[in-house]
Structure 1
């Protein structure tokens, strides 16, 4: 599991090196990376498609499903990190800012136990 910002930076740097070693940067335009990301999210969603919601955590707790979900999550993360890198967006920084904004928009004492409408 990623432990912090330094892990995210290390992953970004490793993704850059992997890409550069293969001369693949020319294929990593934002549109192509978004489409790859959507494809990987689709593969992740497929693993959950017919699982009863109340059994999903339990079923993902054992292999082979656990391994497959982990692989798809890794693919999603890799493409997300690469996209942020190509667009020069500090993913950790914008995630922290988004979380702070959400905390203001949805105070725990107002929304606890409820799924608020997207605002």
Structure 2
């Protein structure tokens, strides 16, 4: 996904909300709460599975829809807070590289 993809989603979610007059309800608080609910709905599909690789085709399709909900709420929240998600993610990855340098991470023992 590139920045134009994120901008396209942002524009589509703006239009969708505008057509339904939902903007008054899309406060940062409400969007953050809705985002957390959708993340919980993703997690629900994995509850009690040993690894999650056991998902059926129907389960994978359901998770796909929930992940889309998560992404759409995230894009809307970022839009309301004027956060450039792509830039924020790139910046965070750079910070993580400093915090967790690869040469200091021990190899996994399997």
Please report the TM-score for the alignment, with normalisation by the length of structure 2: 0.92
Unaligned runs of 5+ in 1: 115-119
Aligned equivalent of 1:71: 65
Query: What secondary structure does 1:48 align onto?
Result: coil
Query: Aligned partners of 2:76 and 2:11: how far apart in 1?
Result: 9
Query: Is 1:85–2:83 an aligned residue pair?
Result: no
Q: Which has the higher contact order (CA 8 A, sep 6+)?
A: 2
Aligned equivalent of 1:111: 105
Please report the TM-score for the alignment, with normalisation by the length of structure 1: 0.85
**Would you say how many aligned residue pairs link Structure 1 and Structure 2?**
108
Q: Where does structure 1 differ by over 2 angstroms across 4 or more consecutive aligned residues?
A: none
Query: Aligned partners of 2:65 and 2:26: how far apart in 1?
Result: 21
Shift of residue 6, structure 1, vs aligned partner: 1.1
- For the aligned residue pairs, the C-alpha RMSD in angstroms reads 1.2
Shift of residue 16, structure 1, vs aligned partner: 0.6
Query: Aligned partners of 1:92 and 1:12: how far apart in 2?
Result: 12
